[in-house]
Structure 1
Amino acid sequence: MTHAIEARTVKLGYGGKVILPGVDLLLNKPEIISIIGPNGSGKSTLLKALSRLLTPLGGSVLLDGKDIHRLPPREVARLMAILPQAAQAPGDMTVYDLVVYGRLPYKRLFERLTAADEAAILAASSAVGLPDMLYRRLDSLSGGEKQRAWLAMALAQEPHLLLLDEPTTYLDIHHQLELMKLIGRLHRERQLTVLMVLHDLNHAARFSQRLIAVKNGRIFADGPVDEVFTAATLRSLYEVETTVMTLEHGGHSQLVCFAHDSCPVTGA
């Protein structure tokens, strides 16, 4: 079953300061969508609003047509999982302890784990390649392994919508690529709708089907990768000159960009 999340004239901000004055957005099919844009443009703020972590100053966020802030938290958590930027947990916690938290939406207070819960925990850890590390402490893991452990916790919720805030932060190029390939595989195998904030434009272009470009608190562009990922759009979005080209590798083609100079922007 496909689930939809929608922003209707959503006004967002903090402490009376408006960051996004009015956003309309609809995610209604299983695809990978990346939010791109300059620092401070409102990307993470938008993600927080769609994930119920931030209450809009105006407008509404709807999950399957219902106001997300009026739905029981457990109901939302069974449909949607979010992995925040630079998530933290005690170092002496094991991978298993962390992934167990993903089953809380299905449990009553102090209720024991069932065979179904244990199966979901094993399936989630196996999906991210950590079945043999379940009883390793988090502080013994590499950065890439820790990020996969957090992703396993999110998958243990058995969500239909997965929201990720800069998931490749602090990872080297090897682990960035492995994580992005993993996200792509999970999308295909589980038919997940994945919405993520990304700074790496080439990762966004390679692994997404849709790009949402945000600038100055507004949706600057929204559409298929080949329509948004253009030199003209990137110039207006980031105020840099870029060369966008298609690379062929292993029988596949992908768009890539190279930034090479700043430029004055008018009318953007």
Structure 2
Amino acid sequence: MNCTIEARKLVLGYSGKIISTCLDIVISEPEIVAIIGPNGSGKSTFLKALSRLLPPEAGSVLLNGTDIHQLSPKKVARLLAVLPQSAQAPGDMLVRDLVANGRAPYIGLFGHLSADDQAAVQSAATATGIADLLFRRLDTLSGGERQRVWLAMALAQQPKILMLDEPTTYLDVHHQLEFMKLVNSLHRERKLTVVMVLHDLNHAARFSHRIIAMKKGEIFADGKAGDVLTVPNLRSLYGVEATVVTMEQGGFEHLVCLPHDICSSYGA
């Protein structure tokens, strides 16, 4: 069964300062959605609101037709998992224990992992390629390994929707591609809806089905990569001149964005 998340006339802000206004989107099919835009455009704020981490100033976020803030945290967590930008955990914690935290929405009063919980942890570890790391301490892992462990914790929730905030920021090129390909595989195999904030336009172009571009707190464009990642749009969004070309790899075509100069009139 598909899970739908919807923003209706969303107004967002912090401490009375309005960041975004009149945000309207519907995500109703299992797809990969990338949220892009310049720094300060409201991308992460929007993701936090969709994730129930930030109450709106006005408007609403609906999860399967119900206001997400009217649902219990456990009910939301059984449908939606979030991987924040800078996730933290004690360095001496075992990988197994961190992944098991993903079962919190299902664990009963006494906090014991059932056979189903243990199976979900093992399944998440296998899917993310960390099964051989389960008894390692977090502080012995590389950056790429740690990111896969956090992803495994989110998968252990068995969500329908996965939300990621700049998941490749601290990774080198190899591990960025490895992580993005893993997310793409999980989307296909588990029919996951993935909503992620990305800075890398080429990752957005290659791995997402839909791109939402934000500018100054508003949705500037929303559609397929070819409709959003155009030369005029990139000029308006980022103040850069770019060349956008189509590349074929492995029988699949995707766009590649090549920024090459700064617009002198940007922000004027």
Letter in 2 for 1:59: G
Match of 2:203 in 1: 203
Q: What is the DSSP-based 3-state SS (H/G/I as helix, E as strand, rest coil) of the residue aligned with 1:56?
A: coil
Bigger shift: 47-56 or 243-252?
Answer: 243-252
How big is each residue's C-alpha offset from its partner over 1:147-172, in whole Å with a ceiling of 9 and x where there is no partner? 00000000000000000000001100
Does the Cα contact within 8 Å between 1:4 and 1:28 map onto a contact in 2? yes
Query: How far apart, CA to CA, are the structure 1 residues paired with 2:108 and 2:265?
Result: 55
Does the Cα contact within 8 Å between 2:239 and 2:266 map onto a contact in 1? no
Match of 2:125 in 1: 125
Unmatched 5+ stretches in structure 1 = none
Q: What is the DSSP-based 3-state SS (H/G/I as helix, E as strand, rest coil) of the residue aligned with 2:70?
A: coil
Match of 1:190 in 2: 190
Q: What is the DSSP-based 3-state SS (H/G/I as helix, E as strand, rest coil) of the residue aligned with 1:12?
A: strand
When the two chains are superposed, the root-mean-square deviation of aligned CA atoms in Å is 1.3
Unmatched 5+ stretches in structure 2 = none
Query: How far apart, CA to CA, are the structure 2 residues paired with 1:224 and 1:82?
Result: 24
Please tell me whether residue 140 in structure 1 is matched to residue 134 in structure 2.
no
Q: What is the DSSP-based 3-state SS (H/G/I as helix, E as strand, rest coil) of the residue aligned with 2:104?
A: helix
Give matches, 1:73-222, under 5 Å.
Answer: 73-222=73-222
Q: 1:132 to 1:9 in 2, by over 3 A?
A: same
Shift of 1:253: 1.9
Query: How far apart, CA to CA, are the structure 2 residues paired with 1:228 and 1:38?
Result: 14
Does the Cα contact within 8 Å between 1:236 and 1:265 map onto a contact in 2? no
How big is each residue's C-alpha offset from its partner over 1:179-232, in whole Å with a ceiling of 9 and x where there is no partner? 000000000000000000000000000000000000000000001111111111
Count of matched residue positions in the alignment of Structure 1 and Structure 2: 268
Q: 1:20 to 1:126 in 2, by over 3 A?
A: same
Query: How far apart, CA to CA, are the structure 2 residues paired with 1:70 and 1:136?
Result: 39
Shift of 1:267: 9.9
Query: How far apart, CA to CA, are the structure 1 residues paired with 2:86 and 2:175?
Result: 15
TM-score by length of 2: 0.98
Query: How far apart, CA to CA, are the structure 1 residues paired with 2:173 and 2:189?
Result: 24
Match of 1:14 in 2: 14
Q: What is the DSSP-based 3-state SS (H/G/I as helix, E as strand, rest coil) of the residue aligned with 2:105?
A: helix
Query: How far apart, CA to CA, are the structure 2 residues paired with 1:127 and 1:248?
Result: 28
Does the Cα contact within 8 Å between 1:86 and 1:169 map onto a contact in 2? no
Match of 1:244 in 2: 244
Letter in 2 for 1:225: A
Shift of 1:266: 7.5
Taking every aligned residue pair, what percent have the same amino acid on both sides? 65
Q: What is the DSSP-based 3-state SS (H/G/I as helix, E as strand, rest coil) of the residue aligned with 1:69?
A: helix
Give matches, 1:23-62, under 5 Å.
Answer: 23-62=23-62
TM-score by length of 1: 0.98
How big is each residue's C-alpha offset from its partner over 1:122-145, in whole Å with a ceiling of 9 and x where there is no partner? 000000001111010000000000
Q: What is the DSSP-based 3-state SS (H/G/I as helix, E as strand, rest coil) of the residue aligned with 1:105?
A: coil
Shift of 1:265: 5.2
Query: How far apart, CA to CA, are the structure 1 residues paired with 2:185 and 2:252?
Result: 16
Query: How far apart, CA to CA, are the structure 1 residues paired with 2:144 and 2:96?
Result: 17
